[in-house]
Chains A and B, each alone.
Chain A
Amino acid sequence: GEDVEQSLFLSVREGDSSVINCTYTDSSSTYLYWYKQEPGAGLQLLTYIFSNMDMKQDQRLTVLLNKKDKHLSLRIADTQTGDSAIYFCAETPNFNKFYFGSGTKLNVKP
């Protein structure tokens, strides 16, 4: 079955860039997603990338997609304490079932 893997923790200092990495297995996924979960809340879509793109930029967020290596990354520029959360990578090969990674807990130190 599909497998989405992420590292569990990342710690950065405020103002630095954060890079969260993800690997996935199903190359047929049309969209790949990054979701953010703040404490005590559900997941919220942060950004997504269409599989025929290799980069997408949205303000402080940059998503890079390497389809050959099945590698997705999320870069957050000028990381703020408010960015502390759990970040989930997800793919959806069949437009119904989503496969989420285990989540990367980002800790931003002041």
Chain B
Amino acid sequence: DAGVIQSPRHEVTEMGQEVTLRCKPISGHNSLFWYRQTMMRGLELLIYFNNNVPIDDSGMPEDRFSAKMPNASFSTLKIQPSEPRDSAVYFCASSITFGPSYEQYFGPGTRLTVT
């Protein structure tokens, strides 16, 4: 299995531009999570989906952020318009809600820099 796939790995954009981050979860996993990691705030959960349905988006910073999961194998996190304070590493993780240990598998992350 290829694991959780995220693209792009690095994104540099100018303030005000739209940014779309992509995630392909592990096949067969039914939960998907978007996290943001910064030095100041550590690892923050932005939103998570269960069976493609958004369950908790209380961590989404503001209306500039939106996430979709149109099917079980794809999710996007969009920032429009982007701001310098959005610079962070964004991780996608997937898991399966049954099994002995309920592990989350993380992707390699997308490092976003907004100038």
Contact = CB atoms under 8 A, between A and B. Distances in A.
A55 to B, nearest CB: 17
B42 A98 contact: no
Contact of A96 (B48, B105, B108, B109): B48
Interface stretch (A40-48, A58-66, A74-82): A40-48
A92 interface: yes
Q: Interface residues of A: mostly helix, strand, loop or mixed?
A: loop
B103 A42 contact: no
A4 B107 CA distance: 22
Most buried by B among A31, A43, A48: A43
A95 B102 contact: yes
A81 to B, nearest CB: 22
A41 B107 CA distance: 8
Interface string B24-51: 0000000101000000001101001010
Nearest to B92: A42
Nearest to A102: B42
- The bracket for how many chain A residues form the interface is 10 to 19
A95 B50 CA distance: 11
A28 B106 CA distance: 24
A42 B109 contact: yes
A107 to B, nearest CB: 16
B33 A98 contact: yes
Contacts of A43: 43, 91, 93, 104, 106
A68 interface: no
Contacts of A97: 45, 48, 56
Given A43-B104, A96-B50, 8 more contacts: A40-B108, A43-B43, A45-B104, A95-B102, A96-B31, A97-B45, A102-B42, A102-B43
